[in-house]
A and B are shown apart, each in its own frame.
Chain A
Amino acid sequence: SAVISQKPSRDICQRGTSLTIQCQVDSQVTMMFWYRQQPGQSLTLIATANQGSEATYESGFVIDKFPISRPNLTFSTLTVSNMSPEDSSIYLCSVLRGQGSEAFFGQGTRLTVV
């Protein structure tokens, strides 16, 4: 398994502001993933963060709205920019272990935008 520390665990933010979520892993990993999970819904991949290169965004997600940093092999941040109530969701980081495809998740960040 993997020890993944994600913070903050929750936050209530004003619309128009930005929030940066941090994810720290207990050992080096090549890829880190950021997901969004809206209330009662499944997990939707936002982007894949690789160290030393720009993140790869999925359809419907753009860098200006969700900038990502990956300064080293154990750490990544996701920023939710210029927030609106529609951004209220749980955001999760994830890494792969085992034979390369087993995904482990951080505890999630519950974001409420008011």
Chain B
Amino acid sequence: GENVEQHPSTLSVQEGDSAVIKCTYSDSASNYFPWYKQELGKRPQLIIDIRSNVGEKKDQRIAVTLNKTAKHFSLHITETQPEDSAVYFCAEWWSGGSQGNLIFGKGTKLSVKP
């Protein structure tokens, strides 16, 4: 089946620095890639997403880039703040199953040190 590789598994940065998380996928037909933030004890929440017809999307301090040729997409957080500390999951909408579903990466635990 389809698989999404996510790196790094943990990331520690100083407040104000940038953080980058990268994911790779294998199905060239996939066309939707969301990112979720999960704070401790809470549900995953969609923070940004990108579709395959664009290469980059930005929302304030968060941006996502997509390289369809290389089959990878990345989350960029600039000017990190302590409240950015959480686990981040990338995902891929995979249509290869019977109805389609999201395939999640293993997650990146981001720690922002004040």
Which residue numbers of A lie inside 8 Å of B, CB to CB?
31, 33, 41-45, 48, 50, 56, 59, 92, 99, 101-108
Smallest CB-CB A-B distances: 6 pairs: A105-B43, A101-B32, A101-B93, A43-B104, A42-B106, A42-B104
CB pair B43 A102 closer than 8 Å: no
CB pair B106 A107 closer than 8 Å: no
Contacts of A102 in B (CB 8 A): 34, 46, 49
Sort chain B's interface into a size bin. Answer: 20 to 34
CB contacts under 8 Å to A, within B73-111, are 89, 91, 93, 97-99, 101-102, 104-107
Tell me the complex Cα distance, A92–B101, Å.
15
- Closest-by-CB residue of B relative to A30 is B99
Residue B61 lies at the interface, judged by CB distance under 8 Å to chain A: no
Residue B8 lies at the interface, judged by CB distance under 8 Å to chain A: no
| Contact for B34 among A42, A44, A50, A101, CB less than 8 A | A101
When A42-B89, A56-B98 are in contact, do A92 and B46 touch as well, CB less than 8 Å? no
| Contact for B99 among A31, A44, A108, CB less than 8 A | A31
Contacts of A103 in B (CB 8 A): 34, 46, 91, 102
